[in-house]
C-alpha cells in the first residue's frame, strides 16, 4: 500500500512504502530545486533508494505544477468570460506566461495609451484563444488514453489492421499471378473499351503516391511540461522504468522510453545491416522514398521485389503509428516492451516513441541523446522550460568530452578521398557548379589532412611508411595553418555536408559498385575500383564482390568513412581555446590518426542549463563535487547561487561498515604503490601476504581492485612463481576479470556459484575476484551480501600523467580556473579527482541495501592524507580508521567479521 508522506511545507510525496528519513530529505530538496528553477547536485549512495526518491520527488512536483497551471488557466478563462481585465501587468501568476513570450514587452513611454491598450487586449485575446485550444487538445488526448485504458478492443485495433493489410496484399499477389499466367488481353471494339474498369486507386493509395500519405500533423502535439530522465546504459534505463511501474505514479504517468534505431527498429531487412550508421541511413532513405513523388516513367518500370522493400518501410503507417503512440502513453514501458508492442502492431517503435514525446510527462533516454545538440534536434527533444534529471552522473564530463571528441585514421582519410574522387569522375558532368566546388574543397581537405600526417593520398596507406613517428599536439588554429586549410570556410563545408547528404550519396555509390552486378562492358572497370577500395582496408585481402544477400548475412559492413570525417570537420569549428588536435604518427599511414580533443565540456552543457527550467545531476558517488561546480557549471555560465548541493548518508547502521587505511603490511613493508615502487618484488609479496590474511578471516567473497590490467597481470604472475597464489587458493577460489566484455557474465556466474556452494556446504572459503579499477567490474556490478564482504583497493589508480591529452587538459585548467588559496593547482586537483572518482566507484560495489555489511580496505599510506580522505564519500569518510601497522588492522577486521557473521 502506498504511503503518503507530508513534509512541513505541506507537500505530499506518494511512496510505495514508508520512506527512510534520508529519502524524505532527498525528495523535499529535489522538489525545492525544481520549484525554484535551480541546478542541483544530488548524491545518494547505492542502496538508499535513489531511483524511487527521484521518481516520487520529481513527479510530485510535476503533479503540483500541472494543477497550479490548470487553476491559473481556469482563472484567466473565467476573467475573459466576465469581460474582466486579465492582468494589471503586475500579477505574479502571469509571469511564467510572459517568460514564454505569450505576453508582450513592457509599454514604450513614447506610445499613446490607446495603442498600448489595443496591443495588450490583442495579446490577452491571443492568450485566451491559445489556452482554449490547449484545453481542447488536452481533453481529446485524455479521452483517447482513457478509451485505450478501459476498452480492450481498441488495444487490438492495430492487430486487426495488420491482418487486413496482410489479407489485402495476399489477394493482390494472387491477382497479379493470375494476370501474369494469362494470355495477351483481347483487343476490344472501341465501344466496349468504356466498359472496362479503369485502374483503381483508393484515396489512401493516392496520398501515398503523392507523398502525402502520412498526415504527420495529426501525430504532432504541443509539448507539455515534462521531465527528461537520463542515464548511461539501456539496462539502467530499463531498471528505472520498472521502478516507475512499481511506484504510486506508475499507472497515471505518461512515460516514453527513447532509444536509437538500432535498439528500436523492427524491420528485419534494416536490422540485419548491423552498423548503427547503415541502419540510420537506410531508415532515412526509406522515409525520403516514401515522401517522394513517383514519376510516370518510374511507375512504368518493372521492379524487383527486393528493391520495392527497400523503397518504403512497411512499419511506417500513419494509422498504426497513431495507435502505437497512444498505446505507448497509456502505461510505462521499457525498450524491450516497446519493441514487442511495435512488432505486434506492425508499427515502428522508433517513430512511435518520438511522436509520443510532446504529450509525455516523463521521457526516459540515454544521456548522450540530451548532451548532443544534433541528436536532440533529430529526436524532437525540446528542452525549453523543461526539467532534466541526469542519473549516474559521476562521469558526466567524461561523457560530454567523449561524445564531442573525434578520431580519424589515415586509412579512413585515404579511403574517403578515393571514393569521393571516383564519385566525382563518374557523375561530374551531371553535377551543378556549386556541388563540384564543394566536392573539390572536401577532396582538398582530405588531401591536406593526409599530408599533415606525412602521407600521400595517391598511395596505399598500408604500405606508406612515415619518416617521423610520435605524437604532436596543436591548437585548432595552428593545425589549420599547418594543414594549409585556413583559407577554407569550414562552417560552409559542414553546412554543405549536412544539407547535401554527400556522405549518404557516397555510401550508396560504393554499395552499388561493391554489390550490384554490372554489365560485361563495365565489369573490368568496376573490378578495378573494387580492388582499389579493398586495398585501402587494413588487413583485407582481395576477394570478389559479394551479392547483397551474402554480404548482409556476414559481418556488418562499415559505414562510409566520409560520415566519420564529417564529425571531425564539425569539431574543427569549435572555438580555438576549447579544443586541441592531436597528430599521432605510428609508422605507417594507415595506423596514424588525427584526433580532436574537447577540453571544455561546459561549452556543450551550457545550452542545456540555459534552456531548461531546472537541471539535476545525481549519482551514488558524486565526490569530488568541486569538479562539477568549477569545470562544468561555472564554465557554463551558471551563477554560484543557482547551484544547490545535497548529500545524504547511507541507510545502513554505522557499525555495518569498516573502512580501513592500512599503511604497512605484515612484514612492515611501507605500502606506497607509486609507479616507481609498485613493481618491486617485496611490494607484490606484501600485497599477497595481506590478502592471505584477509581471506582467512573474511567469509564469502573478496573483491580486490588493481590500478590496471597490466599491473594485475604482473602481480598474478609473480604470485604464481613465488607460491603465494597456491596459498591463496587454499582459502578462496581465485577468479580474474576478463578483458573481453562477453566473458564477464560467465566469470560472475562462476564466482557467485562458488560462494553460494561454499556456504551451503559449511565451508569457510568462498572466492577471491581480482579486478581492475575502471574495468568491467568497477561500475554497474552488484556485489551485495556474501558476494562482496570485503573490497580491497591496491594502491591509488592515478591516470597516466605522461599522457599528452591529460597534460593538455591540466594546462587548460591551470590557465582557465582560478587557484583557490591553500588549494592545489586546478591541473593537479584534476589528477587527484580522477583517481578518487575511480576509487569511489569501485568501493561502491559493496553495501547495496540496509542490512548489508562489508569491510573496505585501502592499501596505500597516501589514502591517510587529509586532502585524499576528504574526497571519499561522506558515509565512508566519517568511519575511516587509519592503521599505521598491520597487526591492529587485522585484529579490527577479524573482530568485525566475527561479530557480523555471528549476528547474521
Q: Which pLDDT belongs to residue 548?
A: 34
Q: Which of 252, 253, 248 is nearest to 17 (CA)?
A: 248
Q: Are strands 579-586 and 790-794 parallel, antiparallel or unpaired?
A: unpaired
pLDDT at 480: 92
Q: Is 270 left (phi over 0), alpha (psi -120 to 50) or beta?
A: alpha
Q: What share of the chain is helix, strand, coil (3-state, %, to 5)?
A: 55, 10, 35
- The span from the CA of 779 to the CA of 233, in Å, is 11
Backbone angles phi, psi at 517, to 5 degrees: -70, 130
Supply 615's cell numbers: 537541471
- Residues 699, 897 contacting (CB under 8 angstroms): yes
Interatomic CA distance for residues 716 and 769, integer angstroms = 12
Please tell me the pTM assigned to this model: 0.78
Beta carbons within 8 Å of 807's beta carbon, 6+ residues apart: 801
Question: 662 φ, ψ to 5°?
Answer: -105, 120
For residue 437, what are the contacts with CB-CB under 8 A and spacing of at least 6? none
What is residue 598's three-state secondary structure?
Answer: strand
249-271 pLDDT, tens digit each: 888 888 999 988 888 898 888 88
412: left (phi over 0), alpha (psi -120 to 50) or beta: alpha
Cα–Cα distance, 343 to 159 (Å, whole number): 10
Contact in structure between 223 and 141 (CB atoms under 8 Å) = no
Residue 691 reports pLDDT greater than 90: yes
For 45, counting Cβ atoms within 10 Å of its Cβ (0-12 exposed, 13-18 middle, 19+ buried), the class is buried
Q: What is the pLDDT of residues 581-622, one digit of tens each?
A: 999 888 888 888 999 999 999 999 999 999 999 999 988 888
Burial class (CB in 10 A: 0-12, 13-18, 19+), 276: middle
Say if strands 39-43 and 3-6 run parallel, antiparallel, or are unpaired: unpaired
Cα–Cα distances (Å) from 740 to 132, 387, 737, 743, 775, in that order, read 58, 38, 9, 6, 10
At residue 13, φ and ψ (nearest 5 deg) are -115, 95
Cα separation, 387 vs 382, whole angstroms: 11
Q: Is the dihedral of CA 248, 250, 255, 259 positive or negative?
A: positive
Closest to 26 (Cα-Cα) out of 3, 54, 46: 54
Mean per-residue pLDDT, 109-133: 64
On whether the CB atoms of residues 685 and 692 are closer than 8 A, the answer is no
Q: What number of CA atoms fall less than 13 Å from residue 759's CA on the CB side?
A: 14
The mean pLDDT value for 887-894 works out to 93
Cα–Cα–Cα angle for 875, 878, 883, nearest 5°? 120
Per-residue pLDDT tens over the stretch 362-421:
999 998 889 988 888 888 899 988 999 998 888 888 889 988 999 999 999 999 999 889
Residue with cell 590474511: 693
C-alpha grid cell, residue 139? 481533453
Q: Could you identify the residue written with the cell 495529426?
A: 218
Percent of the residues in the chain that have a pLDDT greater than 70, as a whole number: 73
Look at residue 156 and tell me whether its pLDDT is greater than 80.
no
Strands annotated E in 742-865: 767-772, 790-794, 854-859
Give the pLDDT confidence of 113-123 residue by residue, as tens digits: 655 666 666 66
Going from the C-alpha of 319 to that of each of 78, 345, 389, 422, 511, the distances in angstroms are 37, 11, 33, 43, 34
pLDDT at 6: 56
pLDDT at 212 over 60: no
Residue 35 contacts residue 61 (beta carbons within 8 Å): yes
Interatomic CA distance for residues 445 and 312, integer angstroms? 36
Across 638-693, where does the E strand assignment appear?
Answer: 643-647, 657-662
Q: Are 261 and 421 in contact (CB under 8 A)?
A: no
Grid cell 581480482 is found at 770
Choose between 849 and 81: higher pLDDT: 849
Q: What is the DSSP string of 377-410?
A: HHHT---TT-EEEE-SGGGHHHHHHHHT-EEEEH
Taking only the tens place, the pLDDT of each residue in 819-856 is: 777 777 888 888 888 898 888 888 887 777 778 888 99
The pLDDT tens digits of the residues spanning 780-823 come to 677 878 888 899 999 999 988 888 888 889 998 888 888 777 77
- Which residue intervals of 198-274 are DSSP H helices? 203-209, 234-246, 261-264, 268-271
Q: Is 659 helix (H, G, I), strand (E, B) or coil?
A: strand
Amino acid at each position: 500500500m502506498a504511503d503518503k508522506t507530508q513534509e512541513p511545507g505541506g507537500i505530499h510525496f506518494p511512496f510505495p512504502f514508508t520512506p527512510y528519513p534520508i529519502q524524505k530529505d532527498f525528495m523535499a530538496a529535489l522538489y525545492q530545486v525544481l520549484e525554484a528553477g535551480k541546478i542541483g547536485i544530488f548524491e545518494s549512495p547505492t542502496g538508499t533508494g535513489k531511483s524511487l526518491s527521484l521518481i516520487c520527488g520529481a513527479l510530485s512536483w510535476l503533479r503540483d505544477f500541472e494543477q497550479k497551471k490548470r487553476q491559473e488557466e481556469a482563472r484567466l478563462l473565467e476573467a475573459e468570460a466576465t469581460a474582466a481585465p486579465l492582468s494589471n501587468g503586475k500579477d505574479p501568476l502571469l509571469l511564467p506566461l510572459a517568460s514564454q513570450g505569450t505576453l508582450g514587452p513592457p509599454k514604450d513611454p513614447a506610445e499613446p495609451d490607446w495603442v498600448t491598450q489595443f496591443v495588450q487586449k490583442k495579446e490577452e485575446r491571443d492568450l485566451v484563444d491559445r489556452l482554449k485550444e490547449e484545453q481542447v487538445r488536452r481533453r481529446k488526448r485524455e479521452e483517447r488514453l482513457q478509451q485505450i485504458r478501459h476498452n480492450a478492443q481498441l488495444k487490438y485495433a492495430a492487430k486487426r489492421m495488420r491482418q487486413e493489410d496482410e489479407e489485402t496484399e495476399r489477394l493482390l499477389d494472387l491477382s497479379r499471378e493470375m494476370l501474369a499466367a494469362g494470355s495477351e488481353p483481347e483487343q476490344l471494339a472501341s465501344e466496349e473499351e468504356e466498359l472496362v474498369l479503369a485502374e483503381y486507386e483508393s484515396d489512401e493509395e493516392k496520398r501515398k503516391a503523392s507523398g502525402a500519405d502520412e498526415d504527420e500533423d495529426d501525430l504532432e502535439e504541443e509539448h507539455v511540461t515534462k521531465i527528461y530522465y537520463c542515464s548511461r546504459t539501456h539496462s539502467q534505463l530499463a531498471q528505472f522504468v520498472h521502478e516507475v511501474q512499481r511506484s504510486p505514479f506508475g499507472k497515471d504517468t505518461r512515460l516514453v522510453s527513447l532509444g536509437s534505431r538500432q535498439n528500436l527498429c523492427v524491420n528485419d531487412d534494416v536490422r540485419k545491416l548491423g552498423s548503427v550508421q547503415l541502419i540510420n541511413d537506410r531508415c532515412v532513405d526509406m522515409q525520403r522514398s516514401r515522401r517522394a513523388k513517383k514519376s510516370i516513367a518510374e511507375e512504368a518500370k518493372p521492379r524487383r521485389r527486393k528493391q520495392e522493400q527497400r523503397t518504403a518501410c512497411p512499419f511506417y503507417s500513419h494509422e498504426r503509428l497513431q495507435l502505437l503512440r497512444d498505446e505507448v502513453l497509456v502505461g510505462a514501458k521499457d525498450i524491450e516492451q516497446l519493441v514487442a508492442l511495435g512488432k505486434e502492431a506492425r508499427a515502428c517503435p522508433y517513430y512511435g516513441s518520438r511522436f509520443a514525446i510532446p504529450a509525455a510527462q516523463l521521457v526516459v533516454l540515454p544521456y548522450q541523446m540530451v548532451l548532443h545538440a544534433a541528436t536532440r534536434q533529430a529526436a524532437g527533444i525540446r528542452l525549453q522550460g523543461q526539467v532534466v534529471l541526469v542519473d549516474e552522473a559521476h562521469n558526466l564530463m567524461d561523457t560530454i568530452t567523449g561524445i564531442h571528441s573525434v578520431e580519424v585514421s589515415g586509412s579512413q582519410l585515404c579511403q574517403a578521398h578515393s571514393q569521393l574522387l571516383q564519385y566525382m569522375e563518374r557523375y561530374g558532368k551531371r553535377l551543378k557548379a556549386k556541388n563540384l566546388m564543394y566536392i573539390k574543397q572536401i577532396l582538398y581537405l582530405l588531401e591536406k589532412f593526409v599530408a599533415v600526417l606525412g602521407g600521400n593520398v595517391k598511395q596505399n596507406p598500408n604500405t606508406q611508411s612515415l619518416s617521423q613517428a610520435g605524437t604532436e599536439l596543436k591548437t585548432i588554429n595552428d593545425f589549420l595553418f599547418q594543414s594549409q586549410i585556413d583559407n577554407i570556410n569550414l562552417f560552409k563545408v559542414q553546412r554543405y555536408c549536412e544539407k547535401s547528404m554527400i556522405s549518404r550519396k557516397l555510401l550508396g555509390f560504393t554499395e552499388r559498385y561493391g554489390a550490384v552486378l554490372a554489365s560485361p562492358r563495365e565489369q573490368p572497370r568496376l573490378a578495378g575500383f573494387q580492388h582499389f577500395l579493398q586495398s585501402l582496408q587494413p588487413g583485407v585481402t582481395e576477394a570478389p564482390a559479394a551479392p547483397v544477400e551474402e554480404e548482409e548475412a556476414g559481418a556488418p559492413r562499415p559505414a562510409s568513412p566520409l560520415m566519420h570525417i564529417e564529425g571531425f570537420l564539425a569539431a574543427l569549428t569549435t572555438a580555438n581555446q576549447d579544443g586541441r588536435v592531436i597528430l599521432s604518427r605510428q609508422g605507417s599511414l594507415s595506423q596514424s590518426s588525427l584526433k580532436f580533443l574537447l577540453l571544455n565540456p561546459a561549452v556543450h552543457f551550457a545550452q542545456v542549463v540555459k534552456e531548461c527550467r531546472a537541471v539535476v545531476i545525481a549519482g551514488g558517488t558524486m565526490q569530488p563535487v568541486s569538479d562539477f561546480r568549477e569545470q562544468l557549471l561555472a564554465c557554463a555560465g551558471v551563477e554560484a547561487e543557482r547551484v544547490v548541493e545535497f548529500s545524504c548518508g547511507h541507510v545502513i547502521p554505522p557499525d555495518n561498515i569498516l573502512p580501513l587505511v592500512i599503511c604497512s603490511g605484515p612484514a612492515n613493508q611501507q605500502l606506497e604503490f607509486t609507479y616507481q615502487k609498485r613493481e618491486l618484488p617485496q611490494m607484490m609479496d606484501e600485497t599477497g601476504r595481506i590478502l592471505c590474511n584477509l581471506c582467512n578471516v573474511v567469509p564469502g567473497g573478496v573483491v580486490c581492485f588493481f590500478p590496471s590490467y597490466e599491473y594485475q597481470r604482473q602481480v598474478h604472475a609473480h604470485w604464481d612463481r613465488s607460491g603465494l597464489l597456491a596459498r591463496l587458493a587454499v582459502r578462496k577460489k581465485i577468479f580474474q576479470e576478463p578483458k573481453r566484455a562477453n566473458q564477464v557474465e560467465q566469470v560472475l556466474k562462476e564466482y557467485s556459484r562458488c560462494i553460494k556452494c561454499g556456504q551451503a556446504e559449511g565451508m569457510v572459503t568462498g572466492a577471491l575476484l581480482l579486478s581492475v579499477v575502471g574495468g568491467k567490474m568497477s561500475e554497474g556490478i552488484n556485489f551485495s551480501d556474501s558476494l562482496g564482504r570485503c573490497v580491497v583497493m591496491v594502491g591509488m589508480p592515478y591516470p597516466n600523467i605522461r599522457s599528452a591529452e591529460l597534460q593538455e587538459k591540466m594546462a587548460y585548467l591551470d590557465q582557465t580556473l582560478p587557484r583557490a588559496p591553500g588549494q592545489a593547482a586546478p591541473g593537479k586537483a584534476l589528477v587527484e579527482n580522477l583517481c578518487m572518482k575511480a576509487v569511489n566507484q569501485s568501493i561502491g560495489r559493496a553495501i547495496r541495501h540496509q542490512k548489508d555489511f562489508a569491510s573496505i580496505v585501502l592499501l596505500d599510506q597516501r589514502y591517510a592524507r587529509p586532502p585524499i580522505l576528504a574526497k571519499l564519500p561522506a558515509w565512508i569518510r566519517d568511519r575511516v580508521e587509519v592503521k599505521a601497522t598491520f597487526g591492529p588492522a587485522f585484529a579490527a577486521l577479524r573482530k568485525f567479521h566475527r561479530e557480523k557473521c555471528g549476528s547474521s
